[in-house]
């Protein structure tokens, strides 16, 4: 079974949805570690309550991105790891990190990439007057939300939507999509070909 390490910084609702999918038998991976850069992350409480191994690696003042990522990599490699899922992890990964785990790091983004990358994607969609947005699961490359796309879900933007209401509707889809994509990876059905992902039948 694939060993999954999940990186979080906060609430961790995607991490919880992944864990639930495992318990429900919809996702066959083993979570070997939940790592947070933020000791206060609410997701850590859930992980501890469910006896999932956790680790905290906090950035030290003045520490370079490379040195910090070096410590994160060390923690990750102290457990069995086949795939790393970013789930609300609020740090840009260094080149060194991305290269070390090439095509093994996935992320979920609350918009239909390549539209609205970066922070506040739901707000960006509203401000642009988009009639549709959604979420994307993609492999992580050196850019910000630019890696090969695995799958997406469309969510309608409704008149009167606020950032909160749109985010909540997108989040429901995120919770399903992430586990589905991880299951495809677990089944060995994802092939990365340059910028494109092929899903094997």
Q: Of residues 57, 97, 174, 181, which one binds ligand GRF by CB under 6 A?
A: 174
CB 16 within 8 A of CB 44: no
Select the span of 10-18, 62-70, 144-152, 186-194 touching ligand GRF (CB under 6 A): 10-18
- Site residues for ligand GRF, 65-104, by CB under 6 A, read 87-88
Strands 132-139, 149-156: parallel, antiparallel or unpaired by DSSP?
A: antiparallel
Q: Is 12 in the site for ligand GRF (CB under 6 A)?
A: yes
With 0-12 CB in 10 A as exposed, 13-18 as middle and 19+ as buried, what is 97?
buried
- What CA–CA distance (Å, rounded) separates 88 from 65? 18
Active site residues: 109
Q: Of residues 44, 98, 108, 166, which one binds ligand GRF by CB under 6 A?
A: 108
Element (H, E) at 15: helix 13-23
Closer of 70 and 120 to ligand GRF (Cβ): 120
In 3D space, the residue among 70, 69, 111 whose CA is nearest the CA of residue 89 turns out to be: 69
- Letters for 143-172 (x = contact with ligand GRF by CB under 6 A, - = none) are ----------------------------x-
- Please give the residue ranges that form the binding site for ligand GRF (CB under 6 A): 8, 10-14, 87-88, 108-110, 171, 174
């Amino acid at each position: 079974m694939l060993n999954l390490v999940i990186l979080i910084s906060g609430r961790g609702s995607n991490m919880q949805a992944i864990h639930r999918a495992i318990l429900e038998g919809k996702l066959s991976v083993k979570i070997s570690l939940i790592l947070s850069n933020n000791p206060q992350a609410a997701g850590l409480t859930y992980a501890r309550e469910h006896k999932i191994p956790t680790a905290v690696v906090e950035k030290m003042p003045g520490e370079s991105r490379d040195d910090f990522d070096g410590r994160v990599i060390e923690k990750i490699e102290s457990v069995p790891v086949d795939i790393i899922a970013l789930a609300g992890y609020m740090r840009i990964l260094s080149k060194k990190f991305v290269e070390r785990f090439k095509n093994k790091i996935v992320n979920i983004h609350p918009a239909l990439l390549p539209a609205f990358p970066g922070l506040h994607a739901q707000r960006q969609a509203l401000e642009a007057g988009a009639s549709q947005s959604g979420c994307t699961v993609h492999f992580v490359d050196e850019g910000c939300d630019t890696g090969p796309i695995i799958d997406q879900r469309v969510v309608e933007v409704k008149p009167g939507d606020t950032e909160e209401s749109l985010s909540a509707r997108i989040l429901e889809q995120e919770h399903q999509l992430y586990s589905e994509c991880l299951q495809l990876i677990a089944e060995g059905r994802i092939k990365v070909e340059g910028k494109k992902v092929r899903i094997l039948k």
